[in-house]
């Protein structure tokens, strides 16, 4: 934790506590208060004193509620829960004294390291799950599990949960979407967002979000708008952990995914059950049938890309030459390198099909087991016809949806945020009456030409997404095919010189043009397929936003 000298604002409290606690320095601060390191004079030990901010303690009712919650939390005695020694109020300043954990919070560690290995994360999540199980058995729900409230003891290595009961106090305070709520919105369970009755399974959802973040380096739902994150918790399915962190053992990823289920009934019933599931997942990951493929080195990934490109460019007259498997020069790694899924995605971005990437990996000996044997047994892929459709058309992509009910105009900001998040473009927004239109700004830079319209009318909301690929297709075919015309002329000239036959010369030139045309067509097809999936995803997310708006109070 960071340290800083005592500020004048704490001087009155420090003076009042003198003789019992000597406040030494500030340890940290956040939306829920300021934490100070102090020395317990009577018991000669270090303690931490947390002082609630005035926003939470400016009324007698809230102060009384805090003291009541502090007394309840003080009954918790567990090795993974920060012990509360006492609480009090001095001149309307509310504070509580707790054990001092020498170390750092999980939030500080994540800010420093970004992503943690599963072998580090699992003991932390397991400790917190056991702490929550203990508290839940005694009728206490934390309500604010997040990395800031998980402390890592440098001496024992234990993870310890702090701030039990503070969230319940915050609920009674006159807060807006700032402070505590804004700081915790990424970890709230769907039932907590909806204001439904919650139990311990709400804490397990929040803990699942923490695990997801620690293992992947990202949050399941993230947006600059807090309200958009809240809506997502209730209406959107989170991405699977493996889809964003493919190096995580699958058995472990499945446990975390279950914690993020929308329905509490679909999650683990107790923290003990979650801890047992984590133990079993950690053991199962060692079994051969559960081992994930090792990550690839940069050299291996480059070999896959080169071989896949050669396979895709091959024709009946110019087949790709045979290739030997790569030698095993380095041990398999599960913690460093490039995941095979990332290799596939990068190849697709470059216009190489997943089919050729898989075949290349198999030929190079980088895919193991029955799947590899099946891929190696495949016959060479047939040549793709140049005709039908000639240019991997169509060049206009559309997604339409018609939803019963009219979206509230006040929710258009969430809609625009969703469009920008999925497409990665700020775009331009215009409106006519109650209709909203969003248009991309990427035409001159990437050839992107997307428009989205939301039209509420006659008791229904129409969503229409339209993208035209003509410009990018023209640039692609013109650049690749036109750029190789000189190579075709050279090939024709060489063939004419060698064979003294104009037929051979024409055939050689045409072969070059057809090969480059086939490459351009494959790249265009890959781009089109990626855009189709992206627009379908955008339509689905917009449908969820519209339905959430219609279901909210005040919608037409």
Query: What are the DSSP calls for 466-519, one per residue?
Result: EEE-HHHHHHHHHHHHHHTHHHHHHHHHHHHHHH--HHHHHHHHHHHHHHHHHH
Which helix H or strand E contains 298, and what residues bound it? helix 298-313
Q: Are 35 and 26 in contact (CB under 8 A)?
A: yes
The residue to which tokens 């009042």 are assigned: 16
Which residue do the tokens 């039908």 mark? 388
Helices (H) and strands (E) in the chain, counts: 22, 13
**Do the Cβ atoms of 102 and 153 come closer than 8 Å?**
yes
Whether a cis peptide bond, with omega within 30° of 0, leads into 394 is yes
Rounded to an integer, what distance in angstroms lies between the CA atom of residue 456 and that of residue 556?
Answer: 10
Helix 250-259 with 271-284: angle, nearest 10 deg: 160
**C-beta separation of 471 from 401 below 8 A:** no
- Whose CA is closest to 373, among 325, 303, 426? 325
Catalytic residues: 144
Question: Going by C-beta distance under 8 Å and a sequence separation of 6 or more, which residues neighbour residue 96?
Answer: 49, 50, 70, 84, 86, 87, 88
Nearest 10 degrees: Cα torsion 8, 9, 15, 17: -140
Phi, psi of 548 (to 5 degrees): -65, -40
Which element (helix H / strand E) includes 87? strand 84-90
């Amino acid at each position: 934790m960071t340290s800083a000298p005592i500020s004048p604002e704490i001087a009155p409290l420090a003076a009042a506590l003198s003789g019992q606690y000597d406040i030494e320095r500030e340890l940290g601060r956040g939306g829920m208060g300021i934490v100070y390191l102090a020395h317990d004079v009577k018991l000669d030990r270090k303690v931490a004193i947390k002082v609630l901010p005035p926003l939470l303690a400016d009324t007698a009712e809230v102060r009384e509620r805090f003291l009541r919650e502090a007394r309840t939390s003080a009954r918790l005695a567990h090795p993974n829960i920060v012990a509360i020694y006492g609480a009090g109020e001095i001149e309307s300043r509310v504070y509580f004294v707790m054990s001092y954990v020498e170390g750092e919070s999980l939030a500080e560690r994540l800010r420093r390291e970004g992503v943690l290995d599963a072998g580090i994360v699992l003991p932390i999540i397991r400790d917190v799950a056991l702490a929550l199980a203990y508290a839940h058995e005694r009728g206490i729900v934390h309500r604010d599990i997040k990395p800031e409230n998980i402390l890592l003891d440098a001496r024992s290595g234990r993870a310890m949960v702090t701030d039990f009961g503070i969230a319940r106090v915050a609920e009674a305070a006159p807060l807006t979407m700032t402070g505590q709520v804004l700081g915790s919105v990424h970890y709230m369970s769907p039932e907590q967002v909806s204001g439904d009755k919650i139990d311990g399974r709400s804490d397990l959802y929040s803990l699942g979000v923490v695990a997801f973040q620690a293992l992947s380096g990202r949050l399941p739902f993230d947006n600059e708008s807090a309200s958009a994150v809240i809506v997502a918790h209730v209406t959107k399915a989170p991405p699977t952990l493996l889809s964003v962190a493919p190096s995580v053992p699958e058995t472990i990823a499945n446990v975390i995914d279950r914690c993020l289920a929308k329905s509490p009934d679909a999650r683990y019933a107790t923290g003990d059950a979650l801890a047992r599931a984590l133990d079993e997942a950690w053991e199962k990951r060692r079994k051969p049938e559960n081992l994930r493929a090792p990550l690839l080195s940069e050299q291996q990934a480059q070999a896959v890309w080169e071989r896949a490109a050669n396979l895709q460019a091959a024709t009946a007259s110019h087949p790709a030459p045979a290739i030997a498997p790569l030698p095993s020069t380095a041990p398999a790694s599960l913690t460093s390198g490039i995941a095979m899924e990332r290799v596939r995605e990068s190849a697709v971005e470059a216009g190489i099909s997943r089919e050729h990437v898989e075949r290349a990996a198999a030929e190079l000996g980088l895919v193991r087991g029955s799947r590899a044997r099946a891929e190696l047994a495949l016959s060479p892929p047939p040549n793709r016809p140049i005709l039908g459709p000639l240019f991997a058309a169509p060049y206009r992509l559309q997604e339409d949806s018609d939803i019963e009910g009219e979206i509230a105009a006040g929710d258009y900001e969430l809609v625009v945020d969703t469009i920008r998040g999925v497409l990665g473009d700020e775009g331009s927004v215009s409106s006519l009456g109650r209709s909203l239109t969003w248009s991309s700004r990427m035409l001159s830079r990437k050839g992107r030409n997307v428009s989205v319209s939301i039209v509420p009318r006659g008791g229904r909301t129409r969503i229409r997404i339209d993208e035209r690929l003509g410009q990018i297709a023209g640039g692609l075919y013109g650049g690749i095919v036109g750029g190789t015309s000189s190579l075709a002329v050279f090939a024709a000239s060489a063939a004419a010189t060698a064979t003294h036959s104009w037929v051979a010369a024409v055939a050689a030139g045409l072969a070059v043009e057809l090969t480059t045309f086939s490459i351009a067509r494959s790249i265009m097809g890959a781009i089109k397929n990626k855009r189709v999936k992206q627009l379908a995803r955008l339509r689905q997310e917009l449908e969820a936003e519209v339905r959430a708006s219609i279901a909210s109070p005040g919608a037409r």
